């Protein structure tokens, strides 16, 4: 599990029973812990994000339950009790406001209720840079009072399997700057050349 306060390496956990990318704690915990690597939970319901609030709630319940069972609330409490969980939205379909509302509210409420307030799973979104429909849905949900504790924005240069590109300050730092800001209950998203 990870929080932004931790500066060490991260290993992500994909939480999706339909795709065989589940974090296998019995096999992976020891080697990750020995190397100081924390787990970052990523919730994947890739083709369901355009659903309604009830579907978002069902998925969040399953995600939160999985995290709490996998790690245990006692262990999570020793790490501070607050953890970012990223909803993995990669477009096609884009995220709906209704789905996000159900997912975000249930993730927080279930984790708190299941642990008597000792563990808080905090909803965040991982999405692609120019998926305006997704970012608008999140902004509208936040404006309506739904929590979003972070945005992780993907900016792909290639799709599929490719060798890593050499670092290029001009390409990676200057061409586009994507800003997501949360303030006073709203989210502002801008893309600047």
- Is 136 part of a structural domain of the chain? yes
pLDDT at position 133 is 92
Domain tally, the chain: 1
Query: Whose structure tokens read 């080697």?
Result: 31
In a domain, 186, yes or no: no
Alpha-carbon span 133 to 86, nearest angstrom: 17
191 domain-assigned: no
Is 121 a domain residue? yes
Per-residue pLDDT of the chain (193 residues; tens, 9 = 90+): 333 333 333 344 444 444 455 666 666 677 777 887 777 788 887 688 899 999 999 999 999 999 999 889 998 999 899 999 999 998 789 999 999 999 999 999 999 999 999 999 999 999 988 888 999 999 999 999 999 999 988 876 666 666 777 766 665 554 434 444 444 343 443 333 3
Asked whether residue 184 is assigned to any structural domain, the reply reads: no
Q: Among 64, 62, 127, which Cα is nearest to 96's?
A: 127
Q: Are 94 and 133 in contact (CB under 8 A)?
A: yes
Assign residue 165 a region (left: φ > 0; alpha: ψ between -120 and 50; beta: otherwise).
Answer: beta
Tokens 């319901």 locate to 45
* pTM summary value: 0.72
Residue 18 lies in a domain: yes
Q: Is residue 39 domain-resident?
A: yes
CATH number at residue 31: 3.20.20.80
Look up the domain containing 133 and give its range. Answer: 10-163
Whether residue 154 lies inside any domain: the answer is yes
């Amino acid at each position: 599990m990870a929080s932004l306060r931790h500066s060490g390496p991260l290993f992500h956990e994909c939480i999706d029973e339909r795709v065989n990318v589940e974090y296998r704690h019995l096999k992976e915990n020891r080697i990750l812990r020995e190397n100081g690597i924390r787990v970052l939970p990523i919730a994947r319901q890739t083709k369901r994000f355009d659903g309604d609030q009830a579907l978002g709630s069902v998925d969040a319940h399953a995600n939160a339950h999985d995290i709490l069972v996998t790690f245990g609330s006692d262990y999570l409490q020793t790490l501070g009790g607050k953890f970012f969980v990223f909803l993995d939205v990669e477009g096609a379909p884009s995220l709906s406001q209704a789905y996000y509302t159900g997912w975000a509210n249930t993730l927080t409420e279930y984790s708190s209720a299941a642990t008597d307030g000792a563990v808080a799973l905090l909803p965040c979104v991982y999405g692609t840079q120019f998926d305006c429909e997704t970012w608008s849905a999140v902004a509208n949900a936040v404006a309506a009072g739904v929590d979003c504790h972070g945005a992780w924005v993907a900016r792909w240069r290639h799709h599929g399997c490719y060798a890593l590109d050499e670092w290029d300050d001009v390409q990676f730092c200057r061409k586009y700057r994507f800003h997501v800001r949360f303030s006073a209950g709203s989210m502002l998203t801008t893309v600047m050349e």
